[in-house]
Structure 1
């Protein structure tokens, strides 16, 4: 039995408020309780890959360290190897041709997103806001806040397809200060995927309002329903707005797709219509009026300049292994899908419901995240408190935006199949608290 009174003592003494608790603080608090009670939590909070990185990336990384002159700075624009590999990857899996010049290596997708938000909000006079689809990755709003960029939100709960596109169109018509629309697909945390039909119609709306699409593809290839996930020979891994407009910024990362999170490497792909756009506002800020030049020489340079050369070479190798068919992304990610399917079954068994159930393709896929709520709780932080008392962690949905702060985001990555019996037992302990 877990000592619930002792857990409450640790929570109270920690100084961490469960209301509005951040993802990182959930992990910190779980660590404090584990140390105090000598127990091991089942961790469903932070999105840490639970799979080993493919050997191809590690070997390329080591070779780059052995062969490169580490005294030399890497080009801000990135290594030719990663730029070309990123271009091939997009052409292979999205059927979209993109100039390697437009592939910009970054320190993970978050780095690319931070720069993108700041530059887009500086591109046009009087247009200093972005719009997000909520729920969404909480850090993106913090990135906007730090740069004093305004944020407007559209809740996707029970709103998809034409209804979602029409709502975005209406909101953009009413507020002409919005310069970009930002979303992730599959969505962190809801795991909704924006469909081809939605994206095609959305692209027309965004072009009509001259609004840039910022698409976060950190979980590219994770949708367990796609043909490419099920068949390694099928390149259909994901829909993308890149197919329907050239006014886009698309963010990619090695962290989740290839379990390469520790090396913090990704790339940003910039569409042709935006890459060559010239702005006097950018010239005043960065002495560069072309968007791509301002992104590299202004945005990247002013933060961390470039991703490490060796990590770029590892990422390039992993992308090329995927593009050539040597490595199957779907096969690599399948354990997450298996865990999600079983965890959902167990949650339902114990009276929970899947909160964000469907997108335009039907029931959401089984993957890295999903969302739950419980009829006995109207506040996700209170639900989290009782989860803590049973040796379980999660993240309250309130920090992700949207209209359902009663739920939790569940991450499947650190709950492999051999833990399912223990997971079931701990939810039985949760039942006893009701």
Structure 2
């Protein structure tokens, strides 16, 4: 018997009671349920590194703006299909302020979180040309997005970018895109789960090949401006985060209030579509939906609207207020979110001290930044083995294998770590390392 807090029988029994047949391939929600259930049954607190939820208070600017909108009576009204005009204008200004990219208000369309934005984007981009029926994932990535394709019945390809950084990315993308089957490609920047960030040179390659092969790039900016290695906090001033929007007009930028403004519960995301793509006419869309066939109009009215009949009216006022305040320099969301980098630095130190290693450890020779996620491995353990084994020590995470990664390890989310939990994390990692000395030396 080692130093585990929960026996193998206890963890297995809990998983079985929750109808989880195989923990090694468990989804984020399943791991979350196991951790929450074990904690409730035993009273032993978990170190929760599983679900990526905000660990900071919601912006008061958003809360007050939303309350004001509700007090003024918006709750009994349907929101405009293409979004609140004030939000569309704020989004356009925000993209200019923090990316130095010009996207007009009419090309900024809100949805119920980034989940609905990506769902609709997958649908529309695979309906433009019957020869292009596949989405390419530059992995590792967010598992839910592949689940969306399963619902839609859309094909996908993927590759782990670990071995294809820098100029090597060009050859790999050429191999995938030259098939003529790829309608769109998606990645997150910074990346969930690895926290790698594509460089301007890499994004130039992506943009260049997107133009060459007529592929639409879905750039997921859920963790916008959270790369701690650069100061992106000043609106309308360089440096700006890297983006593919500088290198192609075939893009949809996906922004989210969830992590950026710690406003996850109110579910609001934005599709900021290049003006050129937004205004393009596609005969296939016009034939399918009996509408104008104009990309942005079809996206907003014929697809997004049918999913949710709009986005919560009051939340759109909140998002508009937060974006305008950020542009005015009175809401320092970038500075606020640097707290995640501080937590990541402390957590990484604890893991490294106990013989773990960082899996995705650099960006083209530059050490990986600190932020919302990081990836760790342990000796020769597979990611699934490590995830399951850590559960016995009261630490929940997800295996990198569920994210499309070909590397062995787990994703660690820092958001729920509070000051009093760091000694507990160190204690449990020390116990784990003591119980696995041969693996740690492998």
Q: What range is the shorter-chain TM-score in? A: over 0.9
SS state at 2:25 partner:
coil
Distance 1:274 1:37 in 2: 54
Task: Note the alpha carbon deviations across 1:110-148, whole angstroms, 9 max, x for none.
Answer: 111100010000011221111110111111111122112
Task: Determine whether 1:412 maps to 2:414.
Answer: yes
Q: Deviation of residue 108 (structure 1)?
A: 0.8
1:364 match: 368
1:159 match: 164
Distance 1:98 1:361 in 2: 33
Q: Deviation of residue 40 (structure 1)?
A: 1.0
Report which stretch shifted further, 388-397 or 162-171: 162-171
Distance 2:33 2:247 in 1: 42
Report which stretch shifted further, 68-77 or 313-322: 68-77
Alignment partner of 1:127 out of 117, 132, 136? 132
Report which stretch shifted further, 28-37 or 248-257: 28-37
2:440 match: none
Structure 1 runs (4+) greater than 3 angstroms displaced: 5-9, 11-15, 231-235
CA, structure 1 residues 131+332, in 2 after alignment: closer, same or farther (shift >3 Å)? Answer: same
Alignment partner of 1:172 out of 165, 168, 177? 177
SS state at 2:23 partner:
coil
Given that 2:24 and 2:388 are in contact with CA atoms closer than 8 Å, whether structure 1 keeps it comes out as no
Given that 1:386 and 1:433 are in contact with CA atoms closer than 8 Å, whether structure 2 keeps it comes out as no
Task: Determine whether 1:424 maps to 2:429.
Answer: no
2:61 match: 56
2:323 match: 319
Q: Deviation of residue 432 (structure 1)?
A: 3.1
- Count of equivalent residues: 430
1:334 match: 338
Task: Determine whether 1:260 maps to 2:263.
Answer: yes
Task: Note the alpha carbon deviations across 1:399-419, whole angstroms, 9 max, x for none.
Answer: 110212x21000000013332
Distance 1:236 1:305 in 2: 38
Given that 2:75 and 2:314 are in contact with CA atoms closer than 8 Å, whether structure 1 keeps it comes out as no
Distance 2:261 2:275 in 1: 27
Report which stretch shifted further, 3-12 or 108-117: 3-12
2:244 match: 241
Task: Note the alpha carbon deviations across 1:159-217, whole angstroms, 9 max, x for none.
Answer: 211111221122211x1011111111001101111111111222111101111111001
The aligned runs of 1:258-407 (5 Å cut-off) are 258-288=261-291, 289-360=293-364, 362-377=366-381, 379-404=382-407, 406-407=408-409
Structure 1: gaps spanning 5 or more residues: none
Q: Deviation of residue 246 (structure 1)?
A: 1.4
TM-score, structure 2 as length reference: 0.94
Q: Deviation of residue 234 (structure 1)?
A: 4.7
2:439 match: none
Structure 2: gaps spanning 5 or more residues: 437-442
1:204 match: 208
